[in-house]
């Protein structure tokens, strides 16, 4: 009986440990929404996140500009875009990926999604539990978030990576890397993959 209790306790601790970095991701999201800069400062390693984000955006911009290897030589406009796009992306990342400005950027995005999209006749994607008693509840938000998780991998006991599909543009994915630093999981890298940004 004692061995069974120990096994059950170990299983519960294992599940809690695996859920811990996802809880950190949700805490970061809630801190962005609330404008909680102290939590954002504590939970995100800003320099490494900006660096990884710049790398993914620049790579995506370059890939889109060089999509067809059989295309004729790039025009002057294509060469200008290839030169300027990464610089503009880098400037935007430097400006908005900070504890103070990320909540503002999120606010701009929410204004677009809540006011401009509906005015253009674009419908909101349905949540996982839409049409049920739980629609719009925290349970619905968690279920909808879980449904968009494509991959969640522990590379070690202190490094976790999760890939999430964008709710509005399924061809876009976010790959977040979390590392256990001290007694706290922190976001240490972020990449945007796919088209549509």
pLDDT at position 97 is 77
Cα separation, 134 vs 114, whole angstroms: 21
- The upper half-sphere exposure of residue 186, i.e. CA atoms within 13 Å in the direction of its Cβ, equals 17
pLDDT at 80 over 70: no
pLDDT at position 63 is 55
Q: Is 77 helix (H, G, I), strand (E, B) or coil?
A: helix
Mean pLDDT of 108-132: 77
Percent of the chain with pLDDT over 90: 26
pLDDT digits (tens, 9 = 90+) for 128-180: 888 888 988 888 888 888 899 999 999 999 999 999 998 888 888 999 999 99
pLDDT at 127 over 90: no
- Contact 172/166 with Cβ under 8 angstroms? yes
pLDDT at position 78 is 54
Cα separation, 79 vs 128, whole angstroms: 43
pLDDT at position 136 is 85
Cα separation, 71 vs 178, whole angstroms: 40
Write down the mean pLDDT value for the chain. 80
Q: Report the predicted TM-score, pTM, of the whole model to 2 decimal places.
A: 0.73
- Contact 188/176 with Cβ under 8 angstroms? no
Q: Which of 186, 192, 189, 191 is nearest to 24 (CA)?
A: 186
pLDDT band of residue 68 (cuts 50, 70, 90) is very low
For 76, the token pair is 């002057």
pLDDT band of residue 59 (cuts 50, 70, 90) is low
* More confident position, 125 or 150: 150
């Amino acid at each position: 009986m004692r061995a069974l209790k120990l096994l059950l306790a170990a299983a519960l601790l294992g599940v809690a440990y695996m859920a811990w970095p996802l809880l950190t991701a949700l805490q970061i999201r809630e801190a962005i929404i609330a404008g909680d800069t102290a939590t954002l400062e504590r939970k995100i390693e800003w320099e490494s996140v900006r660096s990884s984000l710049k790398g993914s955006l620049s790579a995506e911009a370059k890939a889109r500009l060089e999509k067809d290897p059989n295309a004729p030589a790039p025009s002057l406009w294509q060469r200008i875009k290839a030169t300027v796009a990464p610089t503009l992306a880098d400037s935007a990342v430097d400006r908005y990926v900070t504890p103070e400005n990320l909540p503002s950027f999120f606010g701009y995005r929410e204004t677009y999604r809540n006011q401009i999209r509906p005015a253009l006749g674009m419908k909101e994607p349905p949540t996982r539990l839409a049409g049920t008693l739980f629609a719009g509840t925290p349970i619905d938000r968690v279920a909808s978030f879980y449904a968009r998780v494509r991959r969640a991998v522990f590379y070690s006991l202190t490094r976790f990576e999760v890939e999430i599909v964008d709710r509005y543009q399924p061809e876009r994915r976010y790959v977040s890397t979390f590392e256990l630093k001290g007694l706290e999981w922190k976001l240490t890298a972020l990449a945007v993959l796919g088209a549509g940004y």
